């Protein structure tokens, strides 16, 4: 029935940038495109209510608790989720973060509202006990963004394969395109005549699994073979000061550039500066940045220790190595810089927005929502 509604629960769409936020926004926008105005309610924990309402211009009903003090936000948001679900009786609850699964499972049980919960990576890996693990075993569908996460959850939570539906991350192919690097940006950053490797990541102590430390540790050896090399690091966070100290202790002050926060509208320009995008970590559940870089024509180096190897191999956009093996990491970076493989990467299309839309439509149809 065309008047049937769905609820989409998100950590935030606007208040913060990141992979989960991008995924959540894509999910909302694709659901709106498929179902049309008036059939979607978005509930956001961290966004400001007025900002969220303005973003969708009345096409979507929105609720948000970002205006509340942080110590009240979690219980208040849970209450909003429950009350709104009982009042509106949606045909489906779609939660884009596993932390919302206990409330979703409770509503599925007591209100009879089916729930599907996204699973991105480290937030669902290694769950040995707890409310989230129990809830994920109860909701009707779990939506991992990669086969890697699906396989881990099958093994660790003992869920049958039919309970999963993999919906990978996507990227905006209208924003991330191949093109010439900006001469002005190169000059401003001191990258003229340089080979450039690039990492874009949140520089937080809790996200050291991105592999920046490992790249820095092999960089002196790489610079012996490629003397005109620069390492550009984009992103902000409390770990930047520590990383800057490490750069100085390694004698790399002239080779490493911290670009700071990069606005969404400038991301493609920064990708195009690079000869190689490097993020060989061990905690990526997918990695939208790999797709964005490749869409800009820049090959990527990821890791065999997380889901990035799956993305890289399926899209054929670069290589994956063990970041805990310095020799392997160093040799891969040197090899990829000396024998560059540039885009276009034709198999990247399996992760574009058209493919994402097909997958989301299939999910909605599995709940008889059209």
Q: What is the pLDDT of residue 57?
A: 87
Q: Output 48 or 370, whichever has higher pLDDT.
A: 48
Cα within 13 Å of Cα(111), Cβ side: 23
Residue 257 has pLDDT above 80, yes or no: yes
Mean pLDDT of 182-208: 96
Alpha carbon of residue 213 to chain centroid: 20
Alpha carbon distance 178, 344 (integer Å):
7
pTM, two decimal places? 0.93
What number of other Cβ atoms are within 10 A of residue 302's Cβ? Answer: 29
Instruction: Please provide residue 61's backbone torsions phi and psi, each rounded to the nearest 5 degrees.
Output: -75, 135
Q: How high is the pLDDT of residue 3?
A: 63
**Residue 270 has what pLDDT?**
98
Q: pLDDT digits over 214-249, tens only?
A: 999 999 999 999 999 999 999 999 999 999 999 999
Close Cβ partners of 329 (under 8 Å, ≥ 6 residues apart): 214, 215, 218, 280, 321, 322, 323
- Report residue 318: phi and psi, to 5°: 165, -145
Fold match, 6-170+352-366 / 183-350: yes
Return the half-sphere exposure (C-beta side, CA atoms, 13 A cut-off) of residue 171: 24
Kindly give the pairing relationship between strand 256-260 and strand 229-234: parallel
**Section 94-108 average pLDDT:** 98
Looking at the domain 183-350, which fold is it?
Answer: Rossmann fold (3.40.50)
Q: What is the pLDDT of residues 113-153, one digit of tens each?
A: 999 999 999 999 999 889 999 999 999 999 999 999 999 99
* Residue 32 phi, psi dihedral angles, 5° rounding: -65, -40
> Using CB atoms within 10 A of its CB, is residue 254 exposed (0-12), middle (13-18) or buried (19+)?
exposed
Start-to-end Cα distance in the chain: 7
In the chain, what are the domain boundaries? 6-170+352-366, 183-350
Which two structure tokens, joined as six digits, stand for 317?
Answer: 């956009």
Helix axes 101-110, 70-88, angle to 10 degrees: 30
Query: 3-state SS string over the chain?
Result: CCCCCEEEEECCCCCCCCHHHHHHHHHHHHHHHHHCCCCEEEEECCCCHHHHHHHHCCCCEEEECCCCCHHHHHHHHHHHHHHHHHHHCCCEEEECCHHHHHHHHHHHHHCCCCEEEEECCCCCCCCCCCHHHHHHCCCCEEEECCHHHHHHHHHHCCCCHHHECCCCCCCCCCCCCCCCCCHHHHHHHCCCCCEEEEEECCCCHHHHHHCHHHHHHHHHHHHHHCCCEEEEEECCCCCHHHHHHHHHHCCCCCCEEEEECCCHHHHHHHHHCCCEEECCCCCCCCCHHHHHHHHCCCCEEEECCCCHHHHHHHHCCEEEECCCCHHHHHHHHHHHHHCCCCCCCHHHHHHCHHHHHHHHHHHHHHCCCC
Please report the pLDDT score of residue 1 as a whole number: 47
Kindly state the tokens that stand for 161: 């394969």
CATH 3.40.50.2000 fits 6-170+352-366, yes or no: yes
Residue 317's pLDDT is 97
Burial (Cβ within 10 Å: 0-12, 13-18, ≥19) of residue 87: exposed
State how far the Cα of 316 lies from the Cα of 190, in Å rounded to an integer.
31
In this predicted model, which residue has the larger pLDDT, 1 or 204?
A: 204
Judge whether residue 18 has pLDDT over 90: no
Task: Copy the structure tokens of residue 17.
Answer: 């940038």
Tokens of 96: 């884009």
Average pLDDT, the chain: 95
**Quick one: pLDDT at residue 54?**
95
User: What tens digit of pLDDT does each residue of 295-324 get?
Assistant: 999 999 999 999 999 999 999 999 999 999
Whole-angstrom distance, CA of residue 29 vs CA of residue 26: 5
């Amino acid at each position: 029935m065309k008047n049937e509604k769905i609820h989409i629960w998100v950590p935030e769409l606007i208040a913060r940038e990141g992979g989960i936020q991008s995924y959540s926004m894509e999910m909302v926008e694709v659901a709106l495109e498929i179902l049309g105005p008036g059939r979607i309610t978005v509930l956001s924990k961290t966004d400001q209510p007025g900002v969220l309402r303005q973003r969708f211009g009345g096409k979507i009903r929105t609720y948000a608790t970002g205006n509340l003090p942080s110590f009240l936000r979690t219980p208040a948001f849970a209450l909003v989720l429950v009350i709104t679900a009982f009042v509106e009786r949606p045909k489906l609850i779609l939660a884009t973060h596993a932390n919302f699964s206990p409330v979703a499972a409770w509503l599925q049980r007591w209100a009879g509202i089916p729930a599907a919960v996204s699973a991105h990576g480290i937030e669902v890996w290694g769950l040995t006990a707890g409310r989230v693990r129990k809830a994920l075993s109860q909701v009707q569908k779990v939506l991992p963004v990669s086969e890697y996460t699906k396989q881990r959850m099958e093994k660790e939570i003992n869920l049958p394969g039919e309970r999963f539906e993999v919906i990978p991350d996507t990227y905006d192919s209208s924003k991330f395109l191949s093109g010439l690097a900006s001469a002005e940006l190169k000059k401003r950053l001191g990258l003229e005549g340089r080979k450039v490797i690039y990492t874009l990541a949140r520089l937080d102590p809790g996200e050291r699994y991105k592999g920046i430390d490992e790249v820095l540790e092999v960089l002196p050896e790489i610079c012996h073979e490629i003397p005109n090399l620069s390492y550009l690091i984009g992103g902000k966070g409390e770990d930047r000061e520590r990383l800057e100290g490490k750069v100085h202790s390694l004698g790399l002050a002239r080779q490493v550039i911290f670009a700071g926060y990069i606005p969404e509208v400038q991301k493609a320009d920064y990708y195009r500066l690079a000869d190689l995008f490097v993020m060989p970590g061990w905690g990526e559940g997918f990695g939208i940045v790999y797709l964005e870089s490749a869409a800009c024509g820049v090959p990527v180096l990821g890791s065999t220790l997380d889901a990035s190897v799956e993305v890289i191999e399926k899209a054929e956009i670069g290589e994956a190595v063990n970041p805990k093996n310095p020799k392997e990491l160093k040799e891969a970076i040197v090899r990829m810089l000396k024998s560059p493989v540039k885009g276009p990467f034709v198999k990247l299309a399996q992760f574009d927005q058209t493919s994402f839309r097909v997958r989301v439509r299939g999910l909605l149809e599995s709940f008889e929502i059209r």
